[in-house]
Amino acid sequence: MSFSETTRYHQLIDGRILEAECLNEYGDWVRSAIDLNNYIGNINGTLEWDSAGFFDTAVNVNLVEFGRRLEAVLVRESGMEDICGLWLDERISNINGELVYQGGGGYQQGGFQQPGLGQVIEDVAYMEEQRVENDIYRDEARVEGAFYGAEAAVEGAVYREEERIYDDEVRVENDIYRDEAEIAAVENFRPEVEVEVDFNGRGYY
C-alpha cells in the first residue's frame, strides 16, 4: 500500500525513527515504526536510499509535506552544510499495517527478504518499548482526564450551590423588604373621616 495514502499521525522519534498509524487489510489503524537510519545515508551532503547512517552527520531532521518527506541539514566532506530531502513514498510502504523498506535488504517485487536476527530483535524490542510507552501515556491521559473531570464536577456543584444560596438570600431580602413596606403602609394609614354639617351649622362626625 502507498505510504502516504494509508498512514496517518506521522512522527519522527530521535530524528531517525519514523512512526505512524498504518491501515491494515481489516480496516484497522495500527502503529508501526521503522528506523530510517538503517536505509538512508549521507553521500557527500545528499540523502541517498540503500545506504545507512545519515543521522550521524545530520542536524535539524524533520518530516515535512504532511509527513511524506524527510528533510535534514547534512554536512559535506568539505564541511559545508546543505538542506536536502527524500520522499518517503520512494522506498517506504505500508504492508498490511507495517512500515517496511522497499529496496536493498527490504521488501521487493520478489517478496520480503528476511532481515538479520539482530535487526529483528532490535525492531521487536523497540516496538515493544513503544507499545509500553503508548500504554503508559494513555493511562496517564485517562487518569488526568478523570481527575480534571471530577475537579470540574466539584467546581460546578460548588458554583451551583453558591448560586442557590445567593438566590435564597435575595429572596429572603425581598420578602423582608415587602414585609417592611406593608408594615410601613399600615402604620401610615389614616382613614378618611366624613364631616357632615347640620342645619344649625354644627358639624358632627
pLDDT 10s digits, 106-130: 443 333 334 444 554 555 566 677 6
Cell triple for 126 = 523497540
Q: Who wins on pLDDT, 135 or 169?
A: 169
Cα distances from 176 to residues 49, 162, 171, in angstroms, run: 86, 21, 9
The predicted pLDDT at position 6 comes to 92
Cell triple for 34 = 521503522
Q: What are the domain boundaries of the chain?
A: 7-114, 116-188
Read off the pTM. 0.50
Cα distances from 179 to residues 6, 170, 183, in angstroms, run: 75, 14, 6
State pLDDT tens for residues 37-50.
999 999 888 899 99
CA distance linking residue 85 with residue 69, whole number of Å = 7
The predicted pLDDT at position 124 comes to 59
Domain 7-114 has CATH 2.30.60.10: yes
Strands 29-35 and 196-197: unpaired
The predicted pLDDT at position 117 comes to 47
Q: What is the DSSP string of 18-75?
A: EEEEEE-TTS-EEEEEEEGGGTEEESSSSEEES---GGGGEEEEEEETTTTEEEEEEE
Cell triple for 187 = 402604620
State pLDDT tens for residues 66-83.
999 999 998 877 778 888
56 pLDDT higher than 80: yes
State pLDDT tens for residues 142-177.
787 777 778 888 888 888 888 888 888 888 888 888
